[in-house]
Amino acid sequence: MVSSLFRNSAVLLGLVLNLGLMPCAAALENALWFDKGRPKAEAGQAAKILLTAATDGLEPEDYEAEGLAQAIASAEREQQLPADALVRLEMRLTEAMSRYLSDLRFGRIDPRQINAKFIVPDVGGFDPEAHLRVAVAGHRLPEAVRQAEPAIPLYAALRKALADYRVLATDPAVVAAWESGMPKFSGRKLQPGREYSGTALLARRLALLGDLPEAEAVPGRRYEGALVEGVKSFQLRHGLETDGVIGKQTVAQLDISPALRVRQIELALERLRWTPLLLGPRMVVVNIPEFTVRAYEVVNGRVELKLITKVIVGRAMKRQTPLLNMEMRFIEFSPYWNVPPSIAREEIIPRLKRDPAYFQQQGFEFLNGQGQTLADLSEANLLAAEQGKMRIRQRPGPKNPLGDIKFVFPNDDNIYLHDTPARSLFLRGQRDFSHGCIRVQDPVALAKFVLENQPEWTDERIQEAMKKGTSSTLRLEEPLPVVIAYITTIVRNDGRVYFLPDLYGKDRQLDDALRRRSLELKILRQNNSVPRQAGAK
């Protein structure tokens, strides 16, 4: 979707130029970029800013950067441009810079285009054109541009990573190292200690990426020693099992060139512009591709990480966890599991028909429309459940998949965070095993963070409520923002860049949406006949 800002300004420009609705002299009285027919210093600054839009992962072509730079340079060389040409250039540059600031602040697309159900409030009422006018009047355009970008530490770190990987991607040695794929090895996996014809290429790639010291980058024919440690470092940074064993997934990640990683970083920067982070002084963020939940708090203007722990998310092929943001309002201790109708129909009811004993073994019961509990398994009750006239729920206990605690942020998808009895699954690298809800490895630590402003809830009291076996609900005194995000490139506290697999294919969706958007902008400019060299002879 092309922004209304661009569409409206393009239409206005057409009216001004083609219908003569604004006298040229009047149009230039309050010009941002020209004074007495000559470009101001800010006009040159704006041209340079648009030409370097790629440093933020944006596309200079979306803002007519080259054409505007040439037009301004031409205007600087001319003694006096015609008034109508100055009006054209004034409006083109104002529109381009306003849209650039809007894109930098809010992103280029509506996240709903790629099935992200984010509610993004206009915090602070940022007005790109007003911001631009104040910046130019105060002779502080470069500073104003930086103020428009997301005030998130990860954004600045990824911006630097983008610059580093752009340099890496154009290094001739790097280009040569990715000209062909990794040599094949016998068998499905390459175990440490085995001979491998690709050790030299493997060492070169690991060294170029910073996972292997240069001094160790001259290996023998055997896959061993420092080379194995280098692979483990690489695996850690790419969301893989850090066992040093090279299998299909490790080879696939090794074959992705730094040039392709540049695009992955650009997509992460775009997501950070419209993922609703830092909406309050405290919040919880789940990053699906990373299988991680973090808890943040803003202290003295600085964002501090208070908790990080592993999570299990929805299955990639069938029950993906949705992207959304809501406010956590309740905690349920020793919760019931209200089986979702789709899971009841597809999994639970067929199992009960095959194995009636499963009903008592798992602690299931029926709940009718009047809220009455029915503990008997019968054909009538099963049929009612199939037809949606009854619900199946599981009583609190050791077999309940929600474990001992549930964190509730009401939403239409019935998604929540919860404990789990299946602790061994947290040992896996790729953890997409749930029906959509999010299982937390350390729910006690998360509960402690959530209840930080209710100090009567000590560790002991939290664990006592979890183990009580009787369901109870605690309303939070202050709602806590929760965001379920999807970012496949991050920079952690060690300063290293981590690339995560595109688990749900959402990077591909975003990439396609951005390319369509750039094409729409190009077509719209052509259809409105906006001249590319206004002011040029």
Catalytic site residues?
418, 437
- Three-state secondary-structure class, residue 499: strand
- CA geometry: angle at 528 spanning 523 and 531, to 5°? 95
- Alpha-carbon distance of 524 to 508, in angstroms, equals 24
What does each C-alpha distance from 431 to 314, 347, 487 come to in angstroms?
8, 21, 16
Residues whose CB is less than 8 angstroms from the CB of residue 430 and which lie 6 or more positions away in sequence, other chains included: 239, 291, 501, 503
Length reported for the chain: 537
Contact 432, 503 (CB under 8 A): yes
Three-class HEC string of 240-281: CCCCCCECHHHHHHHCCCHHHHHHHHHHHHHHHHHCCCCCCC
Q: Is residue 352 within a helix (H) or strand (E), and if so which, with residue range?
A: helix 349-354
Q: Which two tokens stand for residue 92?
A: 């083109």
Which of 289, 238, 264 has the alpha carbon at shortest distance from 165?
264
Outline where 108-257 has alpha helix (H): 128-137, 141-148, 153-170, 172-177, 199-208, 226-237, 248-254
Angle between helices 141-148 and 128-137 (to 10 degrees): 150
Torsion-angle region of 503 (φ positive above 0: left; ψ -120 to 50: alpha; else: beta): alpha
Bridge partners of 116?
323
Other C-beta atoms closer than 10 Å to the C-beta of 319 total: 17
Report CA dihedral (506, 511, 513, 514) to the nearest 10 degrees. 140
Contact 67, 89 (CB under 8 A): no
Give just the sign of the alpha carbon dihedral 274, 278, 283, 287. Answer: positive
What does each C-alpha distance from 327 to 29, 125, 151, 308 come to in angstroms?
49, 21, 21, 19
